Amino acid sequence: MDDFLPIPQDEIASTLASVTTQYGEAVSTRIQPILMANIKNGRFETFSANQPHALELYVDRLVEGFFKYHNYFEKLQIEKDNLIWTSLQEKISYWVFHIFVNKGFDTEYANTELVPELTQEASIQILKARFTYDTEIEPWAYQIVRATCFKFMRSAMKKSAIPADQLLELDDALENNLPDNKQRLDDPAKENHAALLAAINRLSPERREVILQKYFYEYASEEIAENTHKTVAAVYSMHFNAIENLRKILSD
Amino acid sequence: MKEHEFPQDMHQLEDGLQRLIEDLKRLNTSGTEILARDEDSLSLIVDEALKGVDIRTRYPAFYDHLLRSFALRSLFIECVQDLKETVSAEVINTFQVKPANLAFLHRSEPTQISPEPHWKVTLQRSAEQLMTAFFAPQMSMRGADSSHEPSITLLRSEFLMQDTTYSVILQGRLHDTRDDILLLSLNVSAAAGKFQPLQSSLQWGNFKTSIAVSHEGDTPLPDLPFSSVFNDSLDEIVSDLHLTLTVAA
């Protein structure tokens, strides 16, 4: 199973051969292990999403990422350049702070205790990690920082575990308040479109606007962000919140 | 901001409702499962979202997982927000910027980057390139001893693997008395960095061999029968050559 690849070896070989032709063997030999690792961890499969010429497009993306970032990573991980690390650590410490404050931690405690410790820990993880070259640095590094923070939170929560009997009661209470999955919309044929239109009209104006633009006018999230003067992140958030709202309205 | 109303066109309205119903059907408000592959791919998807790619249309499978897992959805939104969202002045003001602590960079123990499970390099030459090497007007001469048959450089390359730059030359030499085989040798050396033993695997037509390269310099390979790579009339190479080198465990 370890050697199972979702694409034939000869397709990989011919794609890498075209990299060799275009950029030289030195680049091709650097790209190969990155590609193989990304195929094995599923990133390529996610990227491909049944796109035609997916491997070619993905390798182009890796090559682009390689040219953009391999010097940076040489400095970061091999030379351990102080200037680069100083700049990155500022970002890491801010992310650590933001993650904990968003989870309801006290800002003073986050600043004095958590940020110094977890910035160090996340930096060590980034120093040791392999960059995937199919993304910008920030989303990749942020995932590592976030995983480090959540590992810390899980370990801290284990130390203050709630007694098992109380946990059971709490779980039961939560279970009773969750929407029943059986209430989900199972049969679109029976759906009353008028009820759905009415439910859309009960959304907040901003969420209603996102739903209309997304589903009825088929705008991409970036276009909706431009139209509504919001960030793309806010549009995704409003979109998912809006359909959760709709489901709740229709279930009531 | 221009506000939109429901489309007047009935088809457009029906299509929109249908798309929305599909999403509502898949929406799960309590799913806590996140597939390992989705977690591994999250930075790629977040990167795409930040670049304005529409995840619903470009990554339908991942979008489906977003709808079906509340946990993945929350994680995705948090990541996009933390990386892009404008942070309120109140939060910025409470963040205390401290001098970077780079002590971890200079600890005595060396940093070990965990090796890739399959850290290998595959070099290849097409049949056309090999034909050129074989039938070049002047084949490269190895050494000054003219009693030897001339050697043919089948492949020459340099590559970086685990902080070492390796130089590789695969050569063939005609046999002194037999005309149906080629004597092969593989020369590997570390051009920069520390040499580590390698496992070589050569595939050329029907010829396959795997041999350990435990030291720098020449390593002889088994003899190659011409019939395994040439056509029946032995005047054209019909197979590409693939040489794979792996760092020995």
A165-211 confidence digits (pLDDT tens): 444 443 343 344 333 444 444 544 445 788 899 999 999 999 999 99
By Cβ distance, the residue of A93, A193, A221 closest to B17 is: A193
Average pLDDT estimate for A33-52: 90
Is residue A1's pLDDT more than 80? Answer: no
Q: Residue A46 and residue B112: Cβ atoms within 8 Å?
A: no
pLDDT at A38: 93
The 10 Å Cβ neighbour count of residue B224 is: 21
Give A 128-157 residues with CB within 8 A of chain B.
Answer: 128, 130, 132, 134-136, 138-140, 142-143, 146
Q: Does the pLDDT value for residue A49 go beyond 70?
A: yes
Report pLDDT for A115. 92
Residue A202: the pLDDT is 94
The rounded mean pLDDT for chain A is 83
Continuous H helices in A103-136: 107-109, 115-128
- Per DSSP, the three-state class of B152 is strand
Specify whether the CB–CB gap between A13 and A36 falls below 8 A: no
Tokens of B153: 């450089």
A30 CA to centre of own chain: 26
- Chain centroid to CA A148: how far? 15
| pLDDT at position A211 | 95
Q: Hey, what are A240's tokens?
A: 């998912």
Instruction: Find the mean pLDDT for residues A126-145.
Output: 94
Burial B181-220 (b: 16+ CB within 10 A, else e): bbbbbbbbeeeeeebeebbbbbbbbebeeebebeeeeebe
Q: How far is C-alpha B217 from the chain's CA centre? A: 27
Cα–Cα distance between A52 and A58 in angstroms, integer? Answer: 11
pLDDT at A66: 95
**Nearest residue, CB atoms, A231 vs list B24, B85, B114:** B85
B19–A134 CB contact, under 8 Å: no
Which residues of chain B lie closer than 8 angstroms to A233, CB-CB? Answer: 49-50, 77, 80-81, 83-85
Per-residue pLDDT band for A5 (boundaries 50, 70, 90) equals: low
Q: Are A100 and A110 in contact (CB under 8 A)?
A: yes
Interface of A with B in 154-193 (CB under 8 A): 178-179, 181, 184-186, 188, 191, 193
Range picked from A128-142, A231-245, B116-130 for highest mean pLDDT:
A128-142
Give me the interface pTM, i.e. the ipTM.
Answer: 0.80
Percent residues over pLDDT 70 in chain A: 84
Does the structure show a pLDDT above 90 at A71?
yes
CB pair distance less than 8 Å for A25 and B160: no
In the structure encoding, which two tokens stand for residue B73, read together?
């959805």
C-beta atoms of A232 and B96 within 8 A = no
Reported as a pLDDT band with limits 50, 70 and 90, residue A105 is confident
Judged by average pLDDT, the poorest of A12-26, A65-79, B225-239 is: B225-239
Measured CA to CA, the distance from residue A29 to residue B119 in angstroms comes to: 11
- Assess whether pLDDT exceeds 80 at residue A113: yes
Low-confidence residues in chain B, pLDDT < 50: 108-118, 139-147
pLDDT value, residue B42:
95
pLDDT score of A56? 95
- Least Cα distance to B97 among A148, A105, A115, A84 occurs for A115
Q: What is the pLDDT of residue A157?
A: 67
Asked if B10 contacts B48 with a C-beta cutoff of 8 angstroms, the reply is no
